[in-house]
Amino acid sequence: MTCKRLSTIVPVVTWSLTGCIQPEVAPQEQLDRGYVILLPGVEGGAWHLTDTIRGLRDGGVDHAIQPVGWGRPLDVLTNLTDFPANKEWARRIAELTVHYRAEHPAPPITVVGFSGGGGLAVLAAEALPEHVKLDGLILVGAALSPDYDLSKPLAHVRGTLVNFYSELDWLPLGVGTAWFGTIDRKYTVSAGHVGFRTPDHRLLANDRVEQVAWRPDWIRLGHGGGHVGWLWRAWARETLAPCIRAAAESRLAAAG
């Protein structure tokens, strides 16, 4: 069985036992305004991004929003450690972007990856052909090594790579990836815990990489610094939505 080519992009994507990404149709007016791919963590299921999507809508994101389930349902360890399978998932996610861009040459495209999905987001960006670029790449508590070579995904991004991290997110992104490895298969704390770092362990400073550390005032948004805080509706409304809107506005400004 082969996957059906997509002629429209959609707001809900589920797993298939064949490994195909199976979409439902999004409203055309949303597709015409832009496209946002959301990649969940190593649980693999798009279901836990429900509040995130509501928060993005609350925050004025009026594009087509597509959460993409990946990996094996609830097989957390395999989804974290099976690098060849994750590269293949990343290729399929990149294909969604290519299909969208072929039918919608002008609107902005943003990819947002949460936790393990942050690693998938980077791999998907790297899998894009040269003529297709993202307008925004946003990593939220990403299970990716802090010394990852960001020049590779940045070659496929028009704008800025934004990395949200929290030093209080120490269990899954500190102890967890030190023991079981990051998506890119390094046994270290993650960039979602300490930020991206230089070889001498300083916080990476790059004009095209915006690193955003957890702030105590996010507690009022439901985010106390831990791993599940990234999924709160209020945090998505007040913090994530403006990043997506900024990527879209940057494309519109560049277009004229």
One DSSP character per residue, 70-110 reads -SSTT-HHHHHH-HHHHHHHHHHHHHHHHHHHHH-SSS-EE
Q: What is the pLDDT of residue 186?
A: 98
Q: Does pLDDT of 197 surpass 50?
A: yes
Q: What is the pLDDT of residue 10?
A: 41
Q: Percentage helix, strand, coil, to 5, in the chain?
A: 45, 15, 40
Q: What is the pLDDT of residue 73?
A: 86
- Which helix (H) or strand (E) is 118 found in, with range? helix 116-126
Structure tokens at 48: 């836990």
pLDDT tens figures, 62-94: 999 999 999 998 899 999 999 999 999 999 999
Backbone angles phi, psi at 140, to 5 degrees: -120, 105
pLDDT tens figures, 130-164: 999 999 999 999 999 999 999 999 999 998 999 99
Task: For domain 13-255, give the fold.
Answer: Rossmann fold (3.40.50)
Residue type, 159: G
pLDDT tens figures, 212-235: 999 999 999 999 999 999 999 999
Q: What is the pLDDT of residue 26?
A: 82
Backbone angles phi, psi at 24, to 5 degrees: -120, 160
- Return the bridge partners of 137, or none: 111, 161
Structure tokens at 160: 């800025």
Q: How many CB atoms lie within 10 A of CB 70?
A: 27
Q: Does pLDDT of 253 surpass 80?
A: no
Q: How many CB atoms lie within 10 A of CB 28?
A: 10
